[in-house]
Amino acid sequence: MTRNRPDVCPNCGGELIGVEYAYGHPERYDGISEWQCAGICGSRFGRWTGNRLAEGEVEPRFGVDLASRA
């Protein structure tokens, strides 16, 4: 999987779709913030970090924590 243009889910081979966080979300970015598997596993991956995201976890904007951007 590449950082900005993944091909398929590394877990199950399913299609990955881009997810843009809603307006008002603290990590909102004008564009895709994470990739989500539309296949059987439903895994989520951060756009910038490429890390697998746990349930409830979000990808920090530009892959950098909000606190370190101050």
Could you report the per-residue pLDDT of 29-58, keeping only the tens digit for each?
888 999 999 999 999 999 889 899 999 999
pLDDT value of position 2: 47
Query: Is the per-residue pLDDT at 15 higher than 90?
Result: yes
- Please check whether residue 70 is in contact with residue 56, taking contact to mean a CB–CB distance below 8 angstroms: no
Pseudo-torsion of CA 13, 11, 15, 65, nearest 10°? -150
pTM for the full model? 0.79
Name 46's bridge partners. Answer: 34
Cβ proximity of 35 and 45 under 8 Å: yes
Mapped onto helix, strand or coil, the DSSP state of residue 36 is: strand
